[in-house]
Amino acid sequence: MISPGRGSDSGLTLVEVLVALAIFAVIGLAGMSILDTVVRVNRGTEDRLERLAEIDRALLVVGRDMLQAEPVGVGLNGASLTLMQSGGDGPRPLRYALEDGALIRALPGREGEVIQQLLDNVSDLSWRAMDQGRGWRDTWATDDPAPIATELTLTLPLTGRAAEARIVRVFSMPEGARR
């Protein structure tokens, strides 16, 4: 039954058009909100993955240096580790320490010490060494026999949080350093 005054070919009323536009606007806003959330989560994930890659690279360098350590000259004072590393010109001292909030690797160069920053944004760093009796020590004299292993503890602030992360890595000294 057709109501009087309205023909079969009449269009939509203004109210119907406004309701349809409002529905599409709400759907569009919901879609944009979801897209914004996905982009922010993706950006945060990329930042965290980049930080993990930086940490992994730094620990890889330290691990490789430990494998090339000579059986003499290992020194430790808690926050700094010095060891002798094999090189083309003979053994050379290599030092790891925390300087200006960064884990650094220092080697002697022609014009003084060459410092390589391995990892930035480090809150705290400590080293320990395992002696022949399997006990951990916070200090190690360079004239003592080389340790069996060294332990590096890094304290890193977590991005966007008040908490900190603690990373502990134990490096076995090479067989030659265990004499």
As a whole number, mean pLDDT of residues 99-115 equals 91
Q: Which amino acid is at 4?
A: P
CB 66 within 8 A of CB 171: yes
As a whole number, mean pLDDT of residues 101-124 equals 92
Q: For position 46, what pLDDT does the model report? A: 86
As a whole number, mean pLDDT of residues 79-94 equals 85
Mean pLDDT of the chain: 86
Q: For position 6, what pLDDT does the model report? A: 57
Contacts of 177 (CB under 8 A, 6+ apart): 69, 70, 71, 74, 146, 147
Encode pLDDT of 31-81 as tens digits.
999 999 998 888 878 888 898 999 999 999 999 999 888 878 888 887 899
CB 71 within 8 A of CB 178: yes
Q: For position 176, what pLDDT does the model report? A: 46
Whether the predicted pLDDT of 178 surpasses 60: no
pLDDT bucket at 109, cuts 50 / 70 / 90: confident
| Strand stretches in the chain, DSSP E | 75-77, 80-85, 92-99, 102-109, 112-119, 124-130, 136-137, 139-140, 149-157, 164-172
Distance CA 63, CA 59 (A): 6
pLDDT bucket at 8, cuts 50 / 70 / 90: low
